[in-house]
Amino acid sequence: MSKFRSSKSSEKKLIVTNNPGLPVGKGIEIERVETLKEVLEKTRDLVQQGYRLLTHPLAGSLKPWQNPYRSIVLAEGENLDYRSLEVLENALERYRSFARNKRTRESESMSEDLKEDFSTIDRELIEELMIDN
Amino acid sequence: MKLNLERVNVKEVKFGRENSFQDGVVTIDKEGLLSEIEHDDRIESLEVDIVRPGEEVRIMPVKDVVEPRAKVDGEGIFPGFIGKEDLAGTGSSRVLEGMTVMTTGNVVGFQEGIIDMKGPGAQYTPFSQTINVVITCEVPENTEEHIHEEILRVLGLKAASYIGRIGLEAEPDNVEEYEFKPLSEAAKENDDLPLVGYVYMLQSQGLLHDTYVYGIDAKEIIPTFISPTKVMDGAIVSGNCVSACDKNSTFLHQNNPVIEELYRRHGEDFNFVGAILTNENVTLQDKERSSTLVAEMAENIGLDAAIISEEGFGNPDTDLILNCKKLEKKGIKTVLITDEYAGRDGASQSLADASAEADAVVTSGNANETIKLPPMERVIGHQKYADSIAGGFEGSLKEDGSIEVELQAITGSTDQLGYTRLSSEGY
Residue B270 CA to chain centroid, in angstroms?
Answer: 26
Indicate the length of chain A as a whole number: 133
Classify the phi-psi angles of B331: left when phi > 0, otherwise alpha if psi is within -120 to 50, otherwise beta: left
- Where does the pLDDT of residue B226 fall: very low under 50, low under 70, confident under 90, or very high at 90 and above? very high
DSSP string of B4-53, one letter each residue? EEEEEE--EEEEESS-EEETTEEEEEHHHHHHHH---TT--EEEEEEE-T
Residues of B recognised as catalytic: 241
Supply the pLDDT for residue A8.
62
Distances (CA, A) of A69 to A21, A63, B159, B174, B387: 9, 13, 36, 51, 19
Tell me which chain B residue has its CA closest to the CA of residue A8: B285
As a whole number of angstroms, the distance between CA B47 and CA B380 comes to 10
DSSP string of B181-246, one letter each residue? --HHHHHHTTTTSPEEEEEEEEE-SSTTEEEEETTEEGGGPPPEEE-HHHHHTTSEEEEE-S-TTT
Tell me which chain B residue has its CA closest to the CA of residue A64: B314
Q: pTM above the 0.80 mark?
A: yes
Q: What is the ipTM metric for this complex?
A: 0.71
Count other C-beta atoms under 10 Å from residue B326's C-beta.
23
Distances (CA, A) of B167 to B127, B286, B361: 20, 42, 39
Helix axes A82-100, A36-48, angle to 10 degrees: 160
Q: For residue B361, is pLDDT > 50?
A: yes
Supply the pLDDT for residue B394.
52
Supply the pLDDT for residue A133.
41
Q: Which of B217, B282, B393 to mutate to test the interface with A (most CBs of A within 10 A)?
A: B282
DSSP A92: H
First to last CA, chain B: 45
As a whole number of angstroms, the distance between CA B264 and CA B155 comes to 33
Of A5, A66, A120, the CB nearest to B207: A120
As a whole number of angstroms, the distance between CA A87 and CA A40 comes to 11
DSSP B332: -
B301-340 per-position pLDDT tens digit: 999 999 999 999 888 999 999 999 999 999 999 999 999 9
Of A54, A58, A114, the CB nearest to B283: A54
Mean pLDDT of the residues in chain B: 91
Supply the pLDDT for residue B209.
84
Of B109, B243, B317, the CB nearest to A117: B109
Amino acid (one-letter) located at B58:
R
Count other C-beta atoms under 10 Å from residue B131's C-beta.
20
Q: Which of B286, B315, B328 to mutate to test the interface with A (most CBs of A within 10 A)?
A: B315
